[in-house]
C-alpha cells in the first residue's frame, strides 16, 4: 500500500503536467490577440519619451553653454555689414534665444531621435532592407546637412545682399531679432528638406508608387513644379528661387537614375518568403 501511494505521488506531477501546461497555454494565448497593438503602443511611447528627454537635455546644454556664441554666429551676416540688430518687445530677445536653443537642441539630439525611430521600424523590415535603410538614414542626414550648409554659405549671403541693396537709399535697416531669426530658418530649412528629393524618390519606388519610366516621362512637368515650389519656399527674389530650383532639378535627376536600379519592395519580400 505504501508503495502504491509512493508511485501515485511520483506520477501525480507527471500526470498533471499536460493539463497544467494546457491551462498555461490557454492563459497565454488569451491576451495574445491584443498584445501586438499594445506592444506597438508601448514601443511608440518609449520612442517619444526617450526623444523628448534627449531634446530637453540638449536644450539645457545649448542654452546654458553655447547660446551666446550661437546667436553671434547666426547674426554675423548682418552685423558684418554694419547693421545693428534690435528687439521691439520686452520678451522678444529671450523668446528668440529659446527658439534658437530649441532648434539647435533638435539638431544635437537628432542621432538619438533617429536611433529611436530606427529601433521602432526595424522589426517591420526584411533583413535585406535593414542594411539598405541604415545607409538610407545616413544619406538622408548628409543630404539635409548639405542643403542647410549650401544655403547658408552660398545662397543666404546673396539673398541678404539682394535685400539690402533693394532697400538702399530708401530706408535705414533696423532689423528685429525675432523676424531675422524667423527669416533665416524659414530660408535654410526648406533647402535641407528639398535636398531629401532623391531619398523621397527612392522610397516611393520601393513602395511601388512610382517607377523610372513614369518619373522620366514627366520630367518637364516636375521641373516646372520644382521652380513653382522654390518660389513658394523662398523669399520673393529671383536669386534665391533659382538657387533652390537648380539643385532640386539636379537632385531629381540623381533620384531618377537611382530609381532605375531600384526594385519594388513587394518583389523582394516575395522572393525572400519563397
What pLDDT is attached to residue 265?
Answer: 63
What pLDDT is attached to residue 102?
Answer: 92
Q: How many whole angstroms separate alpha carbon 57 and alpha carbon 108?
A: 10
What pLDDT is attached to residue 49?
Answer: 92
Name the stretches of the chain with pLDDT < 70: 1-35, 233-237, 265-274
Query: Is residue 19 classed exposed, middle or buried when 0-12, 13-18 and 19+ CB atoms within 10 A define those classes?
Result: exposed
Q: How many whole angstroms separate alpha carbon 248 and alpha carbon 259?
A: 16
CB half-sphere exposure, 56, CA atoms < 13 A: 6
pTM of the model: 0.67
What pLDDT is attached to residue 8?
Answer: 44
- Smallest CA-to-CA distance from 214 within 260, 246, 266 is with 260
**Spatial CB neighbours of 235, under 8 Å, sequence gap ≥ 6:** 159, 163, 183, 187
Q: How many whole angstroms separate alpha carbon 223 and alpha carbon 181?
A: 30
Specify whether the CB–CB gap between 274 and 202 falls below 8 A: no
**Cell, residue 10:** 511520483
What pLDDT is attached to residue 97?
Answer: 93
Amino acid at each position: 500500500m505504501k508503495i502504491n501511494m509512493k508511485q501515485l505521488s511520483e506520477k501525480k506531477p507527471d500526470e498533471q503536467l499536460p493539463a497544467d501546461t494546457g491551462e498555461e497555454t490557454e492563459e497565454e494565448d488569451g491576451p495574445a490577440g491584443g498584445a501586438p497593438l499594445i506592444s506597438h503602443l508601448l514601443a511608440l511611447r518609449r520612442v517619444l519619451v526617450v526623444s523628448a528627454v534627449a531634446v530637453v537635455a540638449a536644450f539645457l546644454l545649448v542654452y546654458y553653454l553655447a547660446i551666446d556664441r550661437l546667436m553671434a554666429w547666426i547674426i554675423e551676416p548682418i552685423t558684418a555689414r554694419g547693421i545693428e540688430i534690435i528687439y521691439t518687445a520686452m520678451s522678444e530677445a529671450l523668446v528668440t534665444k529659446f527658439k534658437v536653443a530649441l532648434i539647435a537642441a533638435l539638431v544635437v539630439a537628432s542621432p538619438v531621435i533617429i536611433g529611436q525611430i530606427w529601433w521602432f521600424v526595424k522589426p517591420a523590415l526584411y533583413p535585406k532592407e535593414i542594411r539598405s535603410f541604415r545607409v538610407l538614414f545616413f544619406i538622408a542626414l548628409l543630404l539635409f546637412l548639405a542643403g542647410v550648409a549650401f544655403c547658408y554659405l552660398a545662397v543666404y549671403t546673396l539673398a541678404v545682399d539682394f535685400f539690402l541693396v533693394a532697400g538702399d537709399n530708401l530706408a535705414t535697416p533696423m532689423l528685429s531679432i525675432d523676424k531675422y531669426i524667423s527669416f533665416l530658418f524659414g530660408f535654410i530649412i526648406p533647402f535641407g528638406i528639398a535636398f531629401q528629393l532623391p531619398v523621397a524618390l527612392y522610397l516611393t519606388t520601393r513602395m511601388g508608387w512610382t517607377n523610372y519610366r513614369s518619373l522620366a516621362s514627366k520630367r518637364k512637368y516636375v521641373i516646372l513644379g520644382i521652380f513653382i515650389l522654390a518660389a513658394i519656399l523662398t523669399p520673393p527674389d529671383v536669386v534665391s528661387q533659382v538657387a533652390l530650383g537648380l539643385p532640386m532639378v539636379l537632385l531629381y535627376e540623381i533620384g531618377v537614375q537611382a530609381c532605375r536600379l531600384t526594385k519594388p519592395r513587394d518583389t523582394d519580400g516575395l522572393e525572400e518568403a519563397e
